[in-house]
A and B are shown apart, each in its own frame.
Chain A
């Protein structure tokens, strides 16, 4: 089956990130064309500039993650916390596959960008849609989940990646703990009560700050 336009762009952006990650100076149109097997002219149809490709690596993340989540056979049976956690883990996997590039550019292309970055808004949209379609959330709890909560979660996603980049614990254990505790808290709040989970999180924050 022929790859669709999105897949071609994704492959090209991955190669761009890889070349840039190795050495920004060697990221030329020629080297890029060579790495992707695409003609330079075709690459220019996919991305108007080299920087556009690098930026696209981040802005297209929500779509790229969504496509991968669709491939998980049991995803439809996941709980809210499992879906959220899977979204985050998939994002980290994609970013980790181009770690050197991400370390060089994440702050510049994502954190310091003006306005709401597409990674944040796309993530917020995923979180909102997932909660909206989860039948395990009682209707009575929905008023307590206004839009801004999901927007906040979208922004938190950006910060989480920044935290992960600095995380030197074994297997990024601290990041996984944050993901686990926050998604579990959100699920518990959405499905039922919140007290125990909040205490758990506060304890973790306290412990973390003491280190």
Chain B
């Protein structure tokens, strides 16, 4: 599949919503508009693949739980979501956000929901990276007598 530039932004928010803590997303967007379900929230699995040697042929590593949902807002905008885990509310809410992002509400949703989620995800990531960095070994070589 090839990505069009306009798909990149949508890929970005859908990916962010997939990994968002469900309780946090619910707190940022407590009220949901009326929607028509196109595909009700469904818990399933996705086979995660790795590559032999990290770079070679694909192989099946094991599954992960994923919940998906597709719905339509009254205005006609269609939202899809695939989120990690088994929380159907998470999937519905993520699909609503995806749909709203295609409406004039986009700027409000970006500020109210996506921006805080993005900041929090970034903080989690950098904090973990900083803890890892603190365990990086700084080698120093002992001066040996014959090197003088």
Are A and B associated in one complex? Answer: no
